[in-house]
Structure 1
């Protein structure tokens, strides 16, 4: 092919450095149901409907992507183009960054923040080379930040130089609609803030769409990471919230959160009625997830108490158990693997004032648990055990654990969402120094995730992000695909299974064709994609299954 234009060549170079194969297909298994309630979607809806009318009968498609470069709305001038684009991954909810989709006028416009046409062979992926597309960025007029991309796509035979002016006016109309809505929402938040400011005796913050208002007391007290932590308090809580929070400075405050119309809310901060426990020799609060337990850990270690540490995987059971054991002689056993014969040396090491630390004590064989209990009593060995939240199974293992009068339950990460932003920031500094940082939006997204793997999972994600960029701001788009929004897992049950069976049967009868299956089920494509993901259905496996 001819020499690439500079902006196209630069895009190809970026993509090659990410290792994307030109022959790769866009994975439509990672689609996420687009949120219809965003300011971009609401402002774009009437504009796209009007444009759709102008394009009716033509072989053009309008594509709207949000600021994360996820496709959130697609309109077709002719139905014949719809299955063609679906076959290459152009579906609502699909992430369309350059790392996923190569060079095109959605991903590359989002990267360059300016309009660009990509025609035929200029596409990086082979599957997209039969298309021509032109895209323009949409800028939020209120904040000046990138808000999304508006694109028009067609087959190369239908390409026209008139695509650019056609889109520019539409992008401006969407921006105007966003401004009008934001002004209304901001007026409500500002009015609520002004009313609260007259009575507030302490720090006060108001959050709205792309808006943060603070009084002087809050401006002096709060750091940027605190804003994300306070916004996380609203996650999954539609009404008022009253809770204690720990700020990045280490200060503890009581937060009173009140919703405001238009998606905003007020946060009023005040000192706790009772003074917080004085902490001794506590590490930096944002990095020390177990800071609240530190006084008890220090006390039990000093008392040489027998302790059973309970927690989900990844909550730091081994770390806390090691801290409880202290600096004296410590012998460690792995409950899942140890036999009676293998206990003799560790028991000898712990005899005479030492500690026997048994990890995953709930996995001990009954005979091993009985032997350890007998020998611990005979030798005067101190015990520190770890186990899951369900504790120890009945029988000899529970009898062995009964020697621990103290039980220490570790908090899950999802139970303290307000602390996730500070912890994520501290982990990032450990791995990358001060050259990179999370944006408030990225921290807010991390705080919304459920983190079933707890601290270990969060540390893994932060390490992944830190390894991909050496400087600058890390946004939501830099997070791994599964972490760009809080997961929505199904709760298995009879209804869950019945719905899954119905979709599986329909996909089987349609040979795995999701478009046909959606029509037969009477639901939209996006709803079907979402339910396939949430119900853990593999359409490819169904397509390969014999009739």
Structure 2
């Protein structure tokens, strides 16, 4: 960079990262995000702190800048008109992302990279346009999780720089951190109050869940065994973060069906968590003489949850009861219906129709199939609309009246939210059976892996215990379809031998339960690839990616990457 005096080590390393990221030395190019969430924990805690500081610094040549953990500017306060014009000229304004990889060495992005406070003075900036400024950034972390929340940055013109900038930034960051602690305590207190009230009034099993809190009352612990408790805890993930009351039904491994009623808890306008009251809708089958569901060709799974669903389908199909199979995409609804119906009535032909593929021809095909004596499955029935829906309703009534296909068995598949189906169609189907997502029966993953590989004609692959355990830890957002795609990706790279952790796609080397953004997924994959390339050497992987060791360690923890 042609510096006239020695450069501090942190600055030199930051310049190297900036160079590796091909940052433009003449013009900063921060990415812009047009939507900023202003009701996060960080924003609520920071607002009064920044209000107070900015009032003290009114018209002073100092600007207070708050960013999130990704370096996106959330708030900018204070500063005289001349300083604000200069900041605008380099896009250091709300919505712009001031990370090192985009704008080079700076108080915000470099603080994020080193994971702690740092001051960048004038010529220490990598980008020429930023050398008119001096800035000091201090990171803000969550008091409970230790996770990074954002950066508090103090920026001034380079000619006004002094060592107090960094002290000022650290003090402001500490005040924000303290307010996060206060809010966390207040939110926990509000949730605890609602939890105790529910325990007193319900007299039954009660759960409470917040960001960092999970509680289960003594009644729930006594009523449900360890396996059912684990299933309940896993099922509550679907309610976590919900801002509206929610009621959902779940089948437990014991055979019991439970009704879970979730009600959110608020502190003012802030969600503190929620309380779930549980009611048993059917007693568990405890008789050891009761036979397990038969192993049906075309289905794979021996877990209690999967066996329970199989048994329900067998009973319904055995009575030729029209039914709806609902559940998340990729759970195997159609495969289950096909397999069980063919097991119960192998002599009958089974037709499958899809509104998305057939459009207006669906009615004609459905009538023809029913008149020929076939049974019928209509998948993705929530897509039925308009004249097709009206015509199908009339056709089903004709079947009920015995005008055509009087002995036909008919089923629908629907996504997890069945509220989209028309009431007039729902009236024909007295039974709804929920096919559980894969995350609710992960003990079936080994059997599913063997079955899916066999169906794909891949017979030479085996999975090490560590690899299989990792597959069973994943959330499988796309369920069985997702697992099939992962196995196909593995098979493209290895057709035989033992699959080790390093052979898994990057997405399977991380166990974070939250939904990643596209940028985060790319970053996770890059880190996994680098770790694989350098045999788990974090220092070498960090160097190849142009990030510090502190950053790569933080990212590994954040994404739950297995090393």
Would you say same fold, with TM above 0.5?
yes
Structure 2 equivalent of residue 27 of structure 1: 31
> Aligned in 2, Cα 1:255/1:60: closer, same or farther, shift over 3 Å?
same
The verdict on how the C-alpha distance between 1:477 and 1:269 changes in structure 2, with shifts beyond 3 A counting, is closer
Match of 1:49 among 51, 54, 58: 51
Which of 399, 411, 415 is the aligned partner of 1:411? 415
Select which of 229, 254, 262 maps to 2:259: 254
Give the aligned partner of residue 329 of structure 2. 315
Find the counterpart in structure 1 of residue 337 from structure 2. 324
TM-score by length of structure 1 reads 0.58
Match of 2:518 among 477, 480, 484: 480
- SS class of match (2:282): coil
Q: Is the 8 A contact 1:32 1:94 kept in 2?
A: no
TM-superposition CA deviations, 1:263-299 (whole Å, max 9, x none): 43553544513237997668669999x9997556556
Relative to structure 1, is the Cα distance of residues 410 and 15 closer, same or farther in structure 2, using a 3 angstrom cutoff?
Answer: farther
> How far apart, CA to CA, are the structure 2 residues paired with 1:20 and 1:458?
39
Report if the CA contact (8 A) 1:436-1:473 is conserved: no
* Alpha-carbon contact 2:143-2:181 (below 8 Å) kept: yes
Distance 1:153 1:414 in 2: 53
Distance 2:90 2:304 in 1: 44
RMSD: 5.9
Q: Which residue of 2 aligns with 1:235?
A: 242
1:226 Cα offset (Å): 2.8
Q: Deviation at 1:433?
A: 6.1
Q: Distance in 2 between matches of 1:97 and 1:252?
A: 50
**Matched-pair contact (CA < 8 Å) for 1:256–1:269:** yes
Q: Does 1:363 align with 2:358?
A: yes
The answer for the alignment partner of 2:163 in structure 1 is: 161
Moved more, 175-184 or 384-393: 384-393
C-alpha change, 1:256 and 1:390, in structure 2 (3 Å) is closer
| SS state at 1:165 partner | helix
**Is contact 2:351–2:377 with CA below 8 Å preserved after alignment?**
yes
Who is 1:506 aligned against?
A: none
Structure 1 residues 45 and 393 mapped into 2: Cα distance closer, same or farther (>3 Å)?
closer
Please say if residues 118 and 138 of structure 2, whose CA atoms lie closer than 8 Å, have aligned partners that are also in contact: yes
Deviations 1:211-245 (A, max 9, x none): 444445667665599378357256231xx555434
Determine the C-alpha separation between the residues in 1 that align with 2:102 and 2:283.
51
2:233 maps to 1:226 = yes
Separation in 1, partners of 2:99, 2:210: 27
Tell me if structure 2 keeps the 8 A contact 1:308–1:384.
Answer: no
Distance 1:115 1:472, change over 3 A: farther
> 2:441, 2:340 → 1: CA distance?
29
CA contact (8 A) 1:117 1:133 kept: yes
Instruction: Quote the residue 1:206 is aligned against.
Output: 208
Worse-matched range after superposition: 109-118 or 279-288: 279-288
5+ long unaligned stretches in structure 1: 330-351, 448-452, 484-547
**11-20 vs 272-281, which moves further:** 11-20
- How do residues 421-432 of structure 1 correspond to structure 2 at under 5 angstroms? 422=439
Counterpart contact for 1:59–1:77, Cα < 8 Å: yes
- Picking from 276, 282, 285, the partner of 1:274 is 282
In 2, Cα distance between equivalents of 1:478 and 1:54: 39
Name the CA shift for 1:412/1:481 in 2 (closer, same or farther; >3 Å): farther
Inter-partner Cα distance in structure 2 for 1:111 and 1:275: 55
Q: Hey, what's the Cα distance between the residues in 1 that align with 2:100 and 2:417?
A: 32
Query: Partners of 1:468 and 1:72 in 2: how far apart?
Result: 31
Q: Secondary structure at the match of 1:56?
A: coil
Rounded to whole Å, the distance in 2 between the matches of 1:102 and 1:180 is 35
SS at match of 1:179: helix
- Partners of 1:33 and 1:136 in 2: CA distance: 21
How far is the alpha carbon of 1:95 from its aligned partner?
A: 5.5
d(CA) in 1 for partners of 2:437 and 2:11? 39
**Partner residue of 2:379?**
386
Which deviations, in whole Å up to 9, do the C-alpha atoms of 1:381-425 show, x marking residues without a partner? 555443552427647995797667524141236979xx8894799
Distance in 2 separating the partners of 1:203 and 1:25? 55
* Corresponding residue of 1:186: 188
Find the residue that maps to 1:272 and give its secondary structure: strand
Q: Which residue of 1 aligns with 2:530?
A: none
Matches of 1:227 and 1:371 in 2, distance apart? 41
**Which residue of the other structure, out of 244, 249, 272, is the alignment partner of 2:249?**
244
Aligned residue for 1:110?
112
1:203/1:269 contact within 8 Å kept: yes
Q: Which residue of 2 aligns with 1:264?
A: 272
- Give how far 1:41 is off: 2.9
- For the residue of structure 2 that corresponds to 1:167, the secondary structure is helix
Q: How far apart, in 2, do the equivalents of 1:257 and 1:157 lie?
A: 57
Instruction: Specify the SS of the correspondent of 1:389.
Output: helix
- Give yes or no for contact 1:208–1:265 (8 Å, CA) kept in 2: yes
